[in-house]
Amino acid sequence: METRFSSKLVNAVRKGPLHAAILLICLIWFIPTFGLFVSSFRPANLILTTGWWKAFKPPFVFTLENYYKVITTSNMGRSFINSLIISIPSTVMPVIIAAFAAYAFSWMKFPGRDALFLLLIGLLVVPIQMTLIPVLRIFNRLHLTGTFFGIWLAHTAYGLPFAIYLLRNFIGELPVSIFESARLDGANHFDIFFRLVLPTSMPALSSLATFQFLWVWNDLLVALIYLGGTPTVAPMTVTISNLVNSYGGGWELLTSAAFISMILPIMMFFFLQRYFVHGILAGSVKG
């Protein structure tokens, strides 16, 4: 017992600094979010005059008015729906296309395969800003600007290089003999893709989908450029950024609006945490 206790103690002391650092980082990340959360329930005049921590001293004044106002007057409801309409296809499309592409890049032989893959990897380093004007001009000509379809295409294209790269790493690592065995079993490429590769790649596909969804959901730049601020199509990020402009210092509305936009990503994180972590490690750690 004695030794077990002391070894535990040694362990705790040794790992102490690590744990302290992690706690500190968590706090640094968490405090602003928590402040935002508290502020979103405070009346406008209090937000402007005192810090959010004062909310925990009497008089305890909390209100739902900010949420009410944002949802009813500033198009947040519509924007929430728009964000979903934008994000879901913009996630599904690149993941599916990337899965097909990753399979082809890993397991099909065709001329120029490696060159094409290298080109694709090269696209990873092209900054998005460089593409905005040329793509916008093409979109204008094709009348895709301001349409959901246009932004689906844009997000799909921007997401594909990384998506293919990530999935190829995963799908390419599946053991060769499984594919050979399937071929002997009588499977063609479609059988192999749909019945073997897709089911076994679920972890990679889910983590990729999580990433892509969060990126599209939080995106302001691409939406602003290709959709503009039209209320019928604007996602939440655009609407929130407009809040600042139209209301000047409408802090109290910003806080609640921001929190509404965070709900979905936070929920996703909690439910898909496992895949999220897996996705970060994908490619770097085997197994």
Partner 1 sequence: MAEVTLKNVTKVFEGNVLAVKDFNLTVADKEFVVLVGPSGCGKSTTLRCIAGLEEITSGEIYIGDRLVNDVPPKDRDIAMVFQNYALYPHMNVYKNLSFGLELRKIPKDEIDRRVREAARILDIEHLLDRKPKALSGGQRQRVAVGRAIVRNPAVFLFDEPLSNLDAKLRVQMRTELAKLHQSLQATMIYVTHDQVEAMTMGNRIVVMKDGIIQQVSDPLTLYNHPVNKFVAGFIGSPPMNFIEVEVVRQGNDYYVKNGNFTVLVKKDAYEKVKDYEGKKAIFGFRPEDLIDENIVKPEEKEGKLIKARVEVIEPLGSEIYLYLTSGKDSFVTRVPSHYKAELGQEVGFVVDLEKSHLFDIETEEAIY
Of 208 and 227, CB closest to partner 1: 208
Backbone angles phi, psi at 51, to 5 degrees: -70, 160
CB of 200 to partner 1, least distance (A): 5
Of 40 and 201, CB closest to partner 1: 201
CB of 278 to partner 1, least distance (A): 16
CB of 184 to partner 1, least distance (A): 5
Residues within window 162-181 making contact with partner 1, judged by CB under 8 A: 175, 177-178, 180-181
Q: How far apart are CA 283 and CA 287, in angstroms?
A: 9
Q: Which of 63, 97, 136, 191 binds partner 1 (CB under 8 A)?
A: 191
CB of 206 to partner 1, least distance (A): 14
- What is the residue whose two structure tokens read 């329930």? 41
Residue 111 binds partner 1 (CB under 8 A):
no
Of 134 and 175, CB closest to partner 1: 175
Residue 199 binds partner 1 (CB under 8 A):
yes
Closest CA to 134 of 230, 215, 226, 228: 226
How far, in Å, are 104, 107, 114, 120, 240 from residue 110 at the CA level? 9, 10, 9, 16, 47
Residue 196 binds partner 1 (CB under 8 A):
yes
Q: How far apart are CA 246 and CA 156, in angstroms?
A: 31
Residue 189 binds partner 1 (CB under 8 A):
no
Residue 183 binds partner 1 (CB under 8 A):
yes
Of 148 and 179, CB closest to partner 1: 179
CB of 9 to partner 1, least distance (A): 38
Of 151 and 192, CB closest to partner 1: 192
CB of 179 to partner 1, least distance (A): 9
What's the 3-state SS for 117-145? HHHHHHHCCCCHHHHHHHHHHHHHHCCCC
Q: How far apart are CA 159 and CA 170, in angstroms?
A: 17
Instruction: Identify whether the C-beta of residue 212 lies closer than 8 Å to the C-beta of residue 163.
Output: yes
CB of 210 to partner 1, least distance (A): 20
Backbone angles phi, psi at 219, to 5 degrees: -70, 135
Of 198 and 224, CB closest to partner 1: 198
**Which two structure tokens, joined as six digits, stand for 223?**
């939406």
Terminal alpha carbon distance of the chain: 36
Residue 200 binds partner 1 (CB under 8 A):
yes
Q: Which of 184, 245, 248, 286 binds partner 1 (CB under 8 A)?
A: 184
Instruction: Identify whether the C-beta of residue 283 lies closer than 8 Å to the C-beta of residue 102.
Output: no
| Binding footprint of partner 1 on the chain (CB under 8 A) | 175, 177-178, 180-187, 191, 195-196, 199-200
